Amino acid sequence: MTLNRLDKVITKIDTPLYHTIGEAADSIGRPCYAVGGCVRDFFLGRPSKDVDFVTVGSGIELAEVVAKLLGKGTHLTVFRNFGTAQVKRHSVELEFVGARKESYQRNSRKPIVEDGTLEEDLSRRDFTINALALRINREGFGELIDLFNGVADIERGILRTPLDPDITFSDDPLRMMRAVRFATQLQFNIFPETFAAIKRNAERIKIISRERIVDELMKIMKSPRPSIGWQLLLECDLLPIIMPELAAMKGVDTLNGRSHKDNFAHTLEVLDNVSAKSDNVWLRWAALMHDIAKPVTKRWDEKTGWTFHNHNFVGSKMVPRIFRNMRLPQDQKMKYVAKLVELHMRPIALVEEEVTDSAVRRLINDAGDDLEDLMMLCEADITSKNREKVKRLLANFAIVRDKIADLNVRDEIRKLQPPVDGNEIMEIFGIKGSPVIGVIKSTIKNAILDGIIAPNDREAALEIMFRIADENGLKPVVTQSQK
C-alpha cells in the first residue's frame, strides 16, 4: 500500500464528526476504531453512510457519550441484548459495539459472544477486506490496523478469509453467500482456497433461513452484473440447494448430432442485458426466470429437434411456487414476474410474422402497464451469435414498437372499457348469473381487439350481445327503448 493511498483514506475521517467521536472515546479513556465495510469502502472510493465503530469495553457507553456530544438532531437507540447501540445523525448511521470474540455450535449460526481484544474482533470478520480498522482517538488518529493484509487484497481484488475458511464458513454459512455477493458487487475474485472451502461446506447453507439468503440474492440482483453472482453460485455448488430449478438449466444435450443452447448461460446473458438498461430488480428477476421451465418442457422431436413447447406458460405457473419456497414476496411483484414470464414469447412471435393490428392489440391489452418492461425483456432475449439475425430481429421489434405507438394513439387500448358490461347484460335479460354472460363479454372484447368493431361502438356491441343471447335461448326482459 502506498502512503499516498492511506493519506487519501485519512482525509475521509478528518471531519468534525469523526473528531467528535474520537473526543468522546478519549473522555472515557477508550480506544476507538472505525472498522469493517466503511474502511474497505474508503480504500475503494465508494460512498458509505453506515459506519461501524469498535471500542475495547462497552460500545453502548461510548455511544451514549457520542450522542450527548453531537447534541441536537441526534437519535440514540440501544440494543442491550446484543451489546450494541446506534447513533443516527441526519442521513448517517453510526453503530457502536465492544470488541468481542465468538464461538459457534455446529447446529447454529448464532455465536456465543464474549468480550475480546481488538485483534480477536478483527480475526472473527468474514473477509480480510472487512478486517481493517482506523484509529479515531486523538493520539494515533488515522492509524491503520491491518492484521491480515486486507489492503493488499483490496488492491489485488481478492476475497479471502482471515482465518481457516472451513471454520469461517462452517461457523456461519451465510458468509458463503456474502463471498458471492461481494465478488459480484465489487467484481473481485474469490481466493482459490476460499472458494474450495465454500464447495466443501455448501451443504451447511441449509441451516440459514431463506430470508437471510434472499437478502444476499437481492443485493446480487441489484449489482451492475448480476450474472457474476449466479455463475459463482453454480460453480461453488450453492445454487442446486438454494434454487434447483435454475441449476437444472445448466448443460447441453445432443441427439442425432443436434444440440440445444445452454439455457443457463443464455439466461445469464439476458439478465445482464436487462440490467444494463434497467434498475428494476423485479424485471431482472423476470429475466432470470423467463426460461425457467425449459428443463421440464424439453422434448426431442424427430422432425424439428429439441423443443420447449409452452415453456412460457409452464414457467409462469412455476413462479409462485419458487417465490414461496425462496420467501420472495407473494404479492404484485410475484404476479408481475409471472406475467412477464408468460408473455415473453409474444413479441418474439410478432416479429417473425406479419404484424397485424389484431395481434398487437392483444399484446397491448394483455401486457397493460407492463408493456415497456415486456418489450425490454424480449429485446434482451435476442442473444444469437448470428449478428445479422440479431440485427433483423431488432429491426422488426422497432416495427412492433411503431405499431404499438400508432394503435395507442388511435384507440387508447389500455384504457379500453367495453361498451356493454356484465351488470347491464344481467339487467337486460333478468338474470343474476350465467355462463352466457361471460361468452357475450369475451366475444365483444375479442371483436374490439380484432378490429371488427370500434372500441366505443355500443350499437355493434349490443348487436353481438342479442345475437349470442338468442343463440342460447335468452330473451330480454328490458328493451333498449324501456331503458
* pTM of the complete model: 0.81
pLDDT at 102: 66
Q: How many CB atoms lie within 10 A of CB 45?
A: 9
* Residue whose C-alpha cell reads 428477476 in the numeric block: 285
Q: How many CB atoms lie within 10 A of CB 349?
A: 11
pLDDT at 237: 97
Q: Which CATH class is domain 157-242?
A: mainly alpha
Contacts 24+ apart (CB under 8 A), 452-460: 455/411, 455/412, 455/413, 455/416, 455/419, 456/419, 457/419, 458/419, 458/420, 460/419
Domain ranges of the chain: 3-156, 157-242, 418-471
pLDDT at 412: 63
Residues in contact with 228: Cβ distance below 8 Å, sequence separation at least 6, in sequence order: 183, 184, 187
- What's the mean per-residue pLDDT of the chain? 88
Query: CA–CA separation, 142 vs 55, rounded Å?
Result: 15
Residue scoring higher pLDDT (265 or 114): 265
The string of pLDDT tens digits covering residues 228-242 is 999 999 999 999 999
pLDDT at 126: 93
Cell of 426: 344481467
For residue 464, what pLDDT band results from cuts at 50, 70 and 90? very high
> Span 3-156: which CATH code?
3.30.460.10
In the predicted model, is pLDDT for residue 15 greater than 80? yes
The string of pLDDT tens digits covering residues 328-345 is 999 999 999 999 999 999
The string of pLDDT tens digits covering residues 362-375 is 888 899 899 999 99
In the predicted model, is pLDDT for residue 482 greater than 50? no
Pick left, alpha or beta for residue 303 (phi over 0 → left; psi -120 to 50 → alpha; otherwise beta). alpha
Please tell me the least confidently modeled range out of 10-24, 290-304, 321-335, 382-396: 382-396
Residue scoring higher pLDDT (72 or 185): 185
For residue 103, what pLDDT band results from cuts at 50, 70 and 90? low
